[in-house]
Amino acid sequence: MQETTAPRRKKGWMNLKVTEVIEETWDTKTFFLVDEEDGGCPFDYIAGQYLTFRFDDIAERPVARSYTMSSSPCQTRCVGVTIKRVEKGLVSNWLCDNAKVGSVLKARGPIGKFVYDASLCRPHLVMLGAGSGVTPFISMLREYAPKLGQPGSPQKMTLLVAYRSKADLICWKELQALRTVPGVRIVCTLTREDARAEGFLHGRPDEKMMSEVFAGIYDEASFLTCGPEVMMQSMIEFVKTQGVPAEHAMMESFGN
């Protein structure tokens, strides 16, 4: 198929067909989606944006949930969303149990302002994520790591990501490979497993950990965080005490 550089836009609800499903971990799957009509990528987006999916038949009433693209806009053939099961959650479990290659999902978007905007952000993009909250940052790393320092991209990227254990590492092989890119730093902490001997940090990203990982970059960085409310709030508060202006500390809440 010939690739196109023209912007792709669709209005309203789109029918997106699942073309591939990857099991990331025991409770997380990535679904690759294309436009049902033409088999191509239905829209352009900015790394960090999300889609809202609508499900008419899985509960008594239609339900909607949002999922961030974990793929990068530079992957022009399809989009990917990475979905982590929430205990007793309706849609996340339905998708992980039922969405297969060939399934058609209704979604609208892309939407969202939780993005790296080079005209507003500082040159060092610092990201703090946990659990499924790593998805916007995986998209940003995929998008910007190959173009660091180029117009529209940050010069450096730092990701501090928290997972419960090694069994919960999402897209880990790829994140490890990205560590070798000059200007990219990826630090992973495990909250319920001590694997310090293998290079992981141990414990939640608290002030002590943040002050070690973020040392010396407060004047040059914009900080983005996505994950549990408590973690996001603590990062926003912490960087504020380090002199980071409010407009350079942003969070994305996954609560629908």
Ligand X SMILES: Cc1cc2nc3c(=O)[nH]c(=O)nc-3n(C[C@H](O)[C@H](O)[C@H](O)COP(=O)(O)OP(=O)(O)OC[C@H]3O[C@@H](n4cnc5c(N)ncnc54)[C@H](O)[C@@H]3O)c2cc1C
Map tokens 């659990």 to a residue: 131
Q: How many residues bind ligand X (CB under 6 A)?
A: 21
Least Å distance, CB 209 to ligand X, is: 24
Of residues 19, 21, 46, 86, which one binds ligand X by CB under 6 A? 86
Residue 47: beta bridge partners? Answer: none
Residue 106: beta bridge partners? Answer: 15, 54
Give the helix/strand (H/E) hosting 185. Answer: strand 184-190
Of residues 68, 189, 222, 234, which one binds ligand X by CB under 6 A? 68
Residue 254 binds to ligand X (criterion: CB under 6 A): yes
Among residues 185, 179, 250, 176, the alpha carbon closest in space to that of 216 is found at: 185
For residue 245, count CB atoms less than 10 angstroms from its CB and return exposed for 0-12, middle for 13-18, buried for 19 or more. exposed
Residue 66 binds to ligand X (criterion: CB under 6 A): yes
For ligand X, the closer CB: 66 or 191: 66
- What is the C-alpha to C-alpha distance for residues 32 and 111, in angstroms, rounded to an integer? 18
The contact pattern for ligand X, residues 87-126, with x = CB under 6 A and - = no contact, is: xxxxxxx---------------------------------
SS3 state at 121: coil
Q: Which stretch binds ligand X (CB under 6 A): 64-72, 143-151, 198-206, 229-237?
A: 64-72
Residue 137 binds to ligand X (criterion: CB under 6 A): no
Residue 238: half-sphere exposure toward Cβ, Cα within 13 Å: 22
Task: Pull the structure tokens for residue 157.
Answer: 């990227």
CB-based closest residue to ligand X: 89
For ligand X, the closer CB: 84 or 156: 84
Residue 82 binds to ligand X (criterion: CB under 6 A): yes
Q: Which stretch binds ligand X (CB under 6 A): 29-37, 39-47, 63-71, 168-176?
A: 63-71
Residue 67 binds to ligand X (criterion: CB under 6 A): yes
Residue 25 binds to ligand X (criterion: CB under 6 A): no
For ligand X, the closer CB: 86 or 181: 86
For ligand X, the closer CB: 85 or 156: 85
C-beta separation of 224 from 47 below 8 A? no
- What is the C-alpha to C-alpha distance for residues 61 and 57, in angstroms, rounded to an integer? 8
Q: Which stretch binds ligand X (CB under 6 A): 7-15, 65-73, 145-153, 184-192?
A: 65-73
Of residues 71, 135, 153, 234, which one binds ligand X by CB under 6 A? 135
Among residues 60, 58, 138, 68, the alpha carbon closest in space to that of 93 is found at: 58
Alpha-helical regions (H) of the chain = 90-98, 135-144, 172-178, 207-213, 229-241
φ, ψ of residue 78 in degrees (nearest 5): -160, 170
For ligand X, the closer CB: 2 or 256: 256
Task: Catalog residues that contact ligand X under the rule CB under 6 A.
Answer: 50, 65-68, 81-84, 86-93, 132, 135, 254, 256
